[in-house]
Amino acid sequence: MLYHFLYPLKDHFFVLNVFKYLTFRTGGAFVTSFLVVLILGKWFIQKMRGMSVRQKINMYGVEHLEKLHQHKEGTPTMGGLLMVAGVLVAMFLWGNWANTLIIYTTLVFVWLAAVGFWDDYVKMKGNKKGISRSKKLGLQAVVGLLVGVFVLFDHDASGTVVVPFFKEITVPLGIFYLLWSAFMVSATSNAVNFSDGLDGLAGGCIVSMSVVFAIMSYLSGNLQFSNYLFIPYIRGAGELTVLCGALAGSCLGFLWYNSFPAQVFMGDVGSLAMGGVLGTVALFIKKEFLFVIAGGVFVWEALSVVLQLVSVRIRKKKVFKAAPIHHHYQILGIPESKIVIRFWIVAILLAVISMLTLKIQ
């Protein structure tokens, strides 16, 4: 709202001209979301403790993991509410709400946060499994379909998928783009959710990924840069830079309390919303395959779960000692903090590699 209220006064106060710059508002959103989470964090943790909103450990019968995570029993959860609040406050202040991409992306963010909140609430009430898998996937798919409808009928992003590393090769999906968008939002949302199992793991990886998509959104929304780099120009996509800045700031602020040993856990309310909104940004700027590179940690976590399930069902044998893959490393005896930091290192490395792909086409 600062953009709408203050930028029109630029003719009277020249300094207010800075509000037209995406870089300035992205920085403002980053700092605002970080401070909101940091300032409210201590109060929020005490509030959740007082309301007995605490983590119930469920390692699905893996005895060794139960012992490793037993000390976390009773830690306040639903910390994702802090992250959601940080992003929404930052976007309220620094976002351009005349931009339809911002409106739709924020709606996806709130929708998935609500789904995650419902799941966390059910777990808190005693059902360790939360809402059923079919309900969760269905609600994720519905909002993904709505994203696809917007792309196909209300925006010039078009229902095509851009093939990476090739300048002009695209795959027109037509009406099947709806299925693609539903898959993308559901897959990215769940991939981050699978990764949220160790203190600070998901939050740290989201920071580096948000930075990548902030840069990509800025380039995609700039006609000169997009033409020079041979990437699709997406009208209004530059505004998503501000949103990605808010995501990064919110996660960084959350790490203040979620880093090992965690004082609060993210919960599904945070992981589903953060993963799904990044998947939505990827859809809007035609960088779905970049998610596989920049979000390689999340992709590998999700794949480890799928491989484990398929192997157990078909071969009656496990591929990993436990899934997601970070639990496999725990059982091997690697300390939790070391696993997390190594995953962060890999995430940063993949972020750099994903930026290099701009010149490999």
Is residue 246, in this structure, part of any structural domain at all? Answer: yes
Inside any domain, residue 47: yes
11: pLDDT strictly greater than 70: no
Residues 6+ apart with CB under 8 A from 208: 294, 344, 347, 348, 350, 351
| Range(s) of the domain holding residue 55 | 19-359
Listed residue (100, 351, 361, 358) closest to 219, CA to CA:
358
The reply to whether 119 falls in a domain is yes
- 315-343 pLDDT per residue, tens: 988 999 888 999 999 999 999 999 999 99
The verdict on residue 11 lying in a domain is no
Which residue, among 131, 261, 124, 257, has the nearest Cα to 203 in the 3D structure?
257
Query: Has residue 117 got a pLDDT over 80?
Result: yes
pLDDT at residue number 156: 60
Mean pLDDT of 263-292: 94
| 5 located within any domain | no
In a domain, 10, yes or no: no
Number of domains in the chain: 1
pLDDT at 78 over 60: yes
What is the pLDDT at residue 157? Answer: 61
Query: Comparing 116 with 163, which gets the higher pLDDT?
Result: 116
Predicted pLDDT at 301: 96
Please tell me the pTM assigned to this model: 0.92
Residue 298 covered by a domain: yes
Of 115-124, 131-140, 162-171, 309-318, the one with minimum mean pLDDT is 162-171
Helix, strand or coil, per DSSP, at residue 76: strand
Closest Cα partner for 226 from 358, 47, 123?
358
Q: Is residue 7 part of a domain?
A: no
Mean predicted confidence (pLDDT) in 49-75: 71
